[in-house]
Amino acid sequence: MTKVKVLVVDDERTLVKALKFNLEKEGFRVEEAYNGEEALRKVAEVEPDIIVLDLMLPGLDGFEVCRQVRKKLDTPIIMLTARGDDIDKVLGLELGADDYLTKPFNPRELVARIKAILRRSVNREEGVKKLIEIGGLQIDLLQHRVRLNDKEIELTSKEFALLSFLASNAGRVYSREQLLEQVWGYNYYGDARTVDVHIRHLREKIEKDPGNPELIITVWGTGYKFREEP
């Protein structure tokens, strides 16, 4: 069986070695990079299945690495930050990161999050519909493709997972915490605004008027739901 490739990018060599040890114990293949330029080279050469990316890198920082990766790929990205500032976390999510961890953290938590992200990237149970259509929106659950009025819409892996989950359960209201658990795949102890950021991105891409959404509806005081077909 081909091993899942994890690219770990951090200038703290001790941390990289510790993460590599824990990930390899779980059966992952680990590639290392210690600055932004090296990270981008490794992404092109190795084509990792998931990237663990520190924000505070020498030279090209993690934000710019994420931005450049997202121009071409939807490879899942978990960002690492030593700061407690919400702005770093929100900016990372704005740029397309799927998740973040604040240092210091337990390597086992990182392993759990990687497994959860990869698990969610695999197509869900066989019984669900493979194509969801409402209005001009088409969501192909098998091919992981979204079209709006016959135009291809580019989504990150997490945006697609969130959209497909809500659309597969149209009409049902989910709290932010429930969405974090269902889509991110574990008991998430971070900021629930993670969901809000991804919802906003989705609305900007699929709604006629993102300020007055017709597909992804806010249920005030509760959470979000996807519009049921009339």
What are residue 24's phi and psi, to 5 degrees?
-65, -30
Closest of 56, 59, 36 to residue 103, by C-alpha: 56
Could you tell me the domains of the chain?
5-121 (3.40.50.2300), 131-226 (1.10.10.10)
Put simply, whether the predicted model's pTM sits higher than 0.85 gets the answer: no
CB 187 within 8 A of CB 171: no
Going by their DSSP bridges, the two strands 99-102 and 131-134 should be labelled as: unpaired
Buried b / exposed e across 165-202, counting CB within 10 Å, b at 16+?
Answer: bbbbeeeeebebeebbeebbbbebeebeebbebbbbbb
How far is 200 from 193, CA to CA, in rounded Å? 10
Query: What SS3 class is residue 224?
Result: strand
What pLDDT tens digit does each residue of the chain (230 aa) get? 468 899 999 999 999 999 999 999 999 999 999 999 999 999 999 999 999 999 889 889 999 999 899 888 888 899 998 766 666 667 777 777 888 888 888 888 899 888 888 776 654 444 445 788 887 899 988 778 899 998 999 988 888 889 998 998 888 999 988 888 788 765 555 567 788 999 999 999 999 999 999 999 999 989 999 998 75
* Angle in degrees, CA 102, 107, 110, rounded to 5: 65
